Amino acid sequence: MATPTLVQDTDVEHAVGTIQRGRVVRKGRVLGVTTALALLAFALFVATMMVGSFPVTPWEVIASTFRLGSDPSVDFVVRDLRLPVATTALAVGLAMGVSGLVFQKLLANPLASPDFVGISSGAGLAAVGSIILLNVSAMFVSVAALGGALVAALLIYLLAWRDGITGYRFILIGIGVSELMVALTGYLIARADIFEAREAMTWLVGSVGNAGPTQLRILLVALAVLLPLTLVLNRHLDVLELGDDAAKALGANVERMRLVLLAVAVVLVALATAAAGPLPFVALIAGPIAVRLIGANGSGLVAAAFVGALIVLVADLVAQHVVPVELPTGVVTGAIGAPYLIWLLATVNREGRGG
């Protein structure tokens, strides 16, 4: 007959083994889903450069992009015409996907997105002001958009500060600031002449074809630096998700960690907006889709980045080649995101989290 001590030891070993197997399964799911999303994003990245009035094969796209071959006509179409747009779509999607999920985790609300808390509106107001009031070049418009997003984020943070930041207050103040900036943007457009108003509206709708080479290079450098930094800071994000009291009990400097993570997310979405304009709903929907795919136990940041890239690549492909008339990318992302927002509002309200 087994002694009680042996039975307890066996139960403990069984429980530990079950936990370890669960961790392996969860890690395998995260790795598998993230790898599949990365491969799908690369396939769409190639596909966007294949179609058009001058169709090319997948191998021709890959050979030209990575300089594995030399064909002047293919190189001109791929490298000069299509690669910058496809790269912008990929980079903007990566940046918006990560920044959106960071906002949602930090503020503990699925509606916490740069689209709604004034970041994109700040970029839009600054960009429209530079177009209408200063009549500047496209490069300076992007610089103004970046500055506007950063100023809006700082303004919201300062207004929301009351011995700390809470997600509910940050979102409400962000919505108020966003509406103010949208109203000011509308006022500027109403006072502009027809040419400037058309140019401003084109930027506000958002298109991955807006980015110049300098804006694209800045965005790529920022991604190379900030995406790894975000992954390093992910453990702090996990601690903050436990709540301020629990995080402080674990020795975390809550406000400093929150400020650093918000700053990284704001810079990412600001640079993406400066490059392509305020593409609506990408940052809102990428994170929740990624979290559902990998499960609740994964961080989801890498997966969210690739989901964001997929959304923008698909939207650009549809906007340029599927609908009868070429459209700005932002029109398609808006059409994709609007039904999701309606569903999200209905679900949150039904669960009693809608306020």
Query: Mean pLDDT throughout 124-150?
Result: 86
Asked if the model's pLDDT at residue 9 lies above 80, the reply is no
Spatial contact of 326 and 205, defined as CB atoms under 8 Å apart: no
Q: What is the domain range of residue 161?
A: 93-350
Q: Which residues contact 56 (CB under 8 A, 6 or more apart)?
A: 49, 50, 64, 74, 77, 78
CATH number of domain containing 301:
1.10.3470.10
Q: Which pLDDT tens digit goes with each residue over 251-300? A: 777 778 888 888 899 899 988 988 888 898 999 999 989 988 887 666 78
Cα separation, 289 vs 314, whole angstroms? 15
User: Which pLDDT value is given to residue 45?
Assistant: 96
pLDDT number for residue 355: 44
Residue pLDDT, tens place only, 34-91 = 999 999 999 999 999 999 888 899 999 999 988 887 888 999 999 998 999 999 999 9
Please tell me the least confidently modeled range out of 163-167, 204-208, 305-309: 163-167
Instruction: Flag whether 296 is in a domain.
Output: yes
User: Does 77 reside within a domain?
Assistant: no
Number of domains comprising the chain: 1
* Residue 120 lies inside a defined structural domain of this protein: yes
Specify if 114 maps to a domain: yes
Residue 52 lies inside a defined structural domain of this protein: no
- Alpha-carbon distance 197 to 312, whole Å? 25
Selected residue with higher pLDDT from 118 and 89:
89
Please say if the pLDDT value at position 313 is more than 90: yes
* Contact status, residue 80 vs residue 52, Cβ threshold 8 Å: no
Lowest-pLDDT range of 7-21, 146-160, 208-222, 286-300 = 7-21
In-domain check, residue 213: yes
Looking at the domain assignment, is residue 69 inside a domain? no
What pLDDT, on the 0 to 100 scale, is given for residue 354?
46
d(Cα 109, Cα 112) in Å, to the nearest integer? 5
Closest CA to 286 of 312, 268, 320: 312
Q: Examine the pLDDT at 245 and tell me if it is beyond 80.
A: no
pLDDT attached to residue 8? 58
Q: Say if CB 299 and CB 110 are below 8 A apart.
A: no
Neighbours of 227 (CB within 10 A): 18
Q: Are 131 and 203 spatial neighbours (Cβ–Cβ below 8 Å)? A: yes
